[in-house]
Amino acid sequence: MIYIRLKDGSQREYPEGISLLQVAESISSKMAKFAVVAVFNGQITDLNAMVHEDGELEIINFEDDRARLVYRHSSSHIMAQAVKRLWPKTKFAIGPAIDKGFYYDFDTDHTFTPEDFKLIEKEMESIIKSDYPFVRKELSRKDALQYFADRDEDYKVELIQDLPEDAVIGLYQQGEFVDLCKGPHVSSTGKLKAVKIMSLAGAYWRGSENNKMLQRIYATSFPKQAMLDDYLNKLEEAKKRDHRKLGKELGLFVLLDEGPGFPFFLPKGMVLRNELEQYWRLQHQKAGYQEIRTPIILNTEIWHRSGHWDHYKDNMYFTKIDEEDYAIKPMNCPGGILVYKQNLHSYRELPIRTGEMGLVHRHEMSGVLHGLMRVRAFTQDDAHIFMLPEQIIDEIKGVMNLIDLFYKQFGFSYHVELSTRPENSMGSQEVWDMATDALKLALEERSMPYKINEGDGAFYGPKIDFHLQDSLDRTWQCGTIQLDFQMPEKFDLTYIGEDGEKHRPVMIHRVIYGSMERFIGILIEHFAGAFPTWLAPVQVRVLPITERQHDYTETIIARLRDEGIRIEVDKRSEKIGYKIREGQLQKIPYLLVIGDKEIEANAVAVRHRKEGDLGAQGLDEFIAMIKTEITDKIIR
Residue 323 domain-assigned? no
**367 lies in the same domain as 277:** yes
**223 lies in the same domain as 122:** yes
Distance (Å, whole) CA 19 – CA 435: 41
DSSP sequence for 15-54: -TT-BHHHHHHHH-HHHHHHEEEEEETTEEE-TT-B--S-
- Look at residue 299 in the predicted model and tell me its pLDDT: 94
Helix/strand/coil for 460: coil
**152 lies in the same domain as 260:** no
Q: Residue 355: in which H helix or E strand, if any?
A: strand 352-361
Q: What is the mean pLDDT of residues 411-437?
A: 87
In tens, the pLDDT along 122-161 reads 999 999 999 999 999 999 999 999 999 999 999 999 999 9
Q: What is the mean pLDDT of residues 523-538?
A: 96
Q: Residue 508 above 90 pLDDT?
A: yes
Q: Residue 424 above 80 pLDDT?
A: no
Q: Which residues contact 528 (CB under 8 A, 6 or more apart)?
A: 240, 241, 246, 471, 587
Helix/strand/coil for 560: helix
Cα torsion 150, 155, 159, 162: sign: positive
**Model confidence at 307, in pLDDT bands (50, 70, 90)?**
confident
State how far the alpha carbon of 168 is from the alpha carbons of 77, 138, 140, 145, in Å. 20, 6, 5, 12
Q: Residue 511: in which H helix or E strand, if any?
A: strand 506-511
Task: Say what the alpha-carbon torsion angle 225, 231, 235, 240 is, to the nearest 10 degrees.
Answer: 100
Residue 599 domain-assigned? yes
Residue 201 domain-assigned? yes
Distance (Å, whole) CA 394 – CA 239: 42
- What would you report as the CA-atom Rg of the chain, rounded to the nearest whole angstrom? 30
**460 lies in the same domain as 564:** no
What's the domain range around 549? 540-631
**Model confidence at 313, in pLDDT bands (50, 70, 90)?**
confident
In tens, the pLDDT along 4-13 reads 999 888 999 9
- Look at residue 397 in the predicted model and tell me its pLDDT: 94
Residue 345 domain-assigned? no
DSSP sequence for 212-226: PEEEEEEEEEESSHH
Q: What is the mean pLDDT of residues 23-45?
A: 93
**Model confidence at 407, in pLDDT bands (50, 70, 90)?**
very high
In tens, the pLDDT along 66-107 reads 999 999 999 999 999 999 999 999 999 999 999 899 999 999
Whichever domain contains 388, its CATH number is: 3.30.930.10
Q: Residue 454 above 90 pLDDT?
A: no
**What values do phi and psi take at 326, rounded to 5?**
-130, 160
**199 lies in the same domain as 221:** yes
**Model confidence at 458, in pLDDT bands (50, 70, 90)?**
confident
Residue 353 domain-assigned? no
- Look at residue 136 in the predicted model and tell me its pLDDT: 95
In tens, the pLDDT along 584-634 reads 999 999 999 999 999 989 999 999 999 999 999 999 999 999 999 999 999
Burial of 205 (0-12, 13-18, 19+ CB in 10 A): middle
**513 lies in the same domain as 546:** no
CB atoms closer than 10 angstroms to residue 614: 13
- Count of the separate structural domains present in the chain: 4
- Look at residue 367 in the predicted model and tell me its pLDDT: 85
- Look at residue 345 in the predicted model and tell me its pLDDT: 96
**522 lies in the same domain as 421:** yes
- Look at residue 610 in the predicted model and tell me its pLDDT: 92
Q: Residue 316 above 80 pLDDT?
A: yes
Residue 493 domain-assigned? yes
Q: What is the mean pLDDT of residues 435-450?
A: 90
**434 lies in the same domain as 493:** yes
Residue 322 domain-assigned? no
Percent of the chain scoring above 90 in pLDDT: 85
- Look at residue 228 in the predicted model and tell me its pLDDT: 96
Q: What is the mean pLDDT of the chain?
A: 94
**399 lies in the same domain as 495:** yes
Q: Residue 426 above 80 pLDDT?
A: no
Q: Residue 370 above 90 pLDDT?
A: yes
Which active-site residues does the annotation give?
333, 362, 380, 382, 384, 463, 509
- Look at residue 460 in the predicted model and tell me its pLDDT: 79
Q: What is the mean pLDDT of residues 270-297?
A: 97
Where a domain ends, among 186, 208, 233? 233
Distance (Å, whole) CA 2 – CA 25: 17
Whichever domain contains 33, its CATH number is: 3.10.20.30
Comparing 311 with 44, the larger pLDDT belongs to 44
In tens, the pLDDT along 568-598 reads 999 998 999 999 999 999 999 999 999 999 9
**373 lies in the same domain as 522:** yes
In tens, the pLDDT along 256-278 reads 999 999 999 999 999 999 999 99
Distance (Å, whole) CA 317 – CA 328: 5
- Look at residue 616 in the predicted model and tell me its pLDDT: 93
Distance (Å, whole) CA 182 – CA 358: 45
Q: Which residues contact 525 (CB under 8 A, 6 or more apart)?
A: 238, 241, 242, 243, 246, 470, 472
Residue 614 domain-assigned? yes
The answer to whether the CB of 320 falls within 8 A of the CB of 313 is no
Where a domain ends, among 498, 526, 554? 526
Q: What is the mean pLDDT of residues 399-423?
A: 93
Q: What is the DSSP letter of 499?
A: T
Q: Which residues contact 203 (CB under 8 A, 6 or more apart)?
A: 105, 213, 214, 215, 216
The answer to whether the CB of 298 falls within 8 A of the CB of 328 is no
Where a domain ends, among 526, 552, 583? 526
**261 lies in the same domain as 372:** yes
- Look at residue 516 in the predicted model and tell me its pLDDT: 96
**118 lies in the same domain as 142:** yes
Whichever domain contains 104, its CATH number is: 3.30.980.10
Pairing of strands 506-511, 377-387: antiparallel
